[in-house]
Amino acid sequence: MGTPLRVLSGIVFVPFLVAVSLAGGGWFLFLVEWILVVALWEFYRLTEEKGVNPSKKTGVAAVLVLVTMTYWVGPDHLGLFLAVFVITITLRELFRAEMALPIYDIATTVFGVLYVGWLGTHLLLLRELPREIGLDYRLGSHFVLYAFLMAWGCDTAAYFVGLAIGRHKLFPRVSPKKSVEGAVAGFLAAVGGAILGRIWFVRDAQGSPLLGLGEALILGALVGTANQLGDLVESLLKRDAEVKDTSDSIPGHGGVLDRFDSLLFSAPVTYYFLVLVVSR
């Protein structure tokens, strides 16, 4: 039942994602905020399985501030945000009524905001990138869909090829079900998605690709690697907490964090690569 549900969820969500990406602006801001708030809450619930007591509401508020500030003023505010947030969360722990593991609680709260919040904010940065480098704002939706094409193409190929012919364990200490065959298929799918997406999504006003073939190959290889490392990192966290999924909010996929874990690594890779190459 898991595989049909997985496919059905994708059929329902992908058109919605495309529509919101095309709309951009406040609609896409709200979508990213919703994704990151739910994913962060799921992460904090994982840490509670280990006996840690993170400041969940403070962490969620911090992510909302982070994403909203990024939308309005760009990424240059990160230093100010981190200074205020770290001071706030340590003072929050100082005056907490019940003190058990303050070092762990502070560290977990801060890590969740950086891991889920800051890395995930790069989805919004991708959508707003044309404004940053002087291109047509509508191109931002193409950048987002390009990132999703590579990331979810990698995830899908790794899952189905691993399910069909996976024989050699990739990283059994962390994720016993992942296979070398699936990882290779995922990597190749990311490279293929980068090459195809270069033609479909990353084009200037005249229709010429903004990435050369070699640049697309490099980006695909980077995403194919980062995407699977992001997935393994979340598997490590779940294994430590001894849970299978972070929640059951997305039928066939588990939680929101389960669905977007790989993008937490591959979205920043895509963003900074496009900043370096497209803005030259």
Which own/partner contact pairs does 67-74 have at CB distance under 8 Å and 24+ positions apart?
67/29, 67/32, 67/33, 67/36, 67/117, 67/121, 67/124, 68/29, 68/33, 70/121, 70/124, 70/125, 70/128, 71/29, 71/124, 71/128, 74/128, 74/132
Highest mean pLDDT among 6-20, 24-38, 66-80: 24-38
Number of structural domains in the chain: 1
Q: Is the pTM of this model over 0.75?
A: yes
pLDDT tens per residue, range 219-235: 999 999 999 999 999 98
> Domain residues for 114?
2-278
pLDDT tens per residue, range 179-216: 999 999 999 999 999 999 998 888 876 778 889 999 99
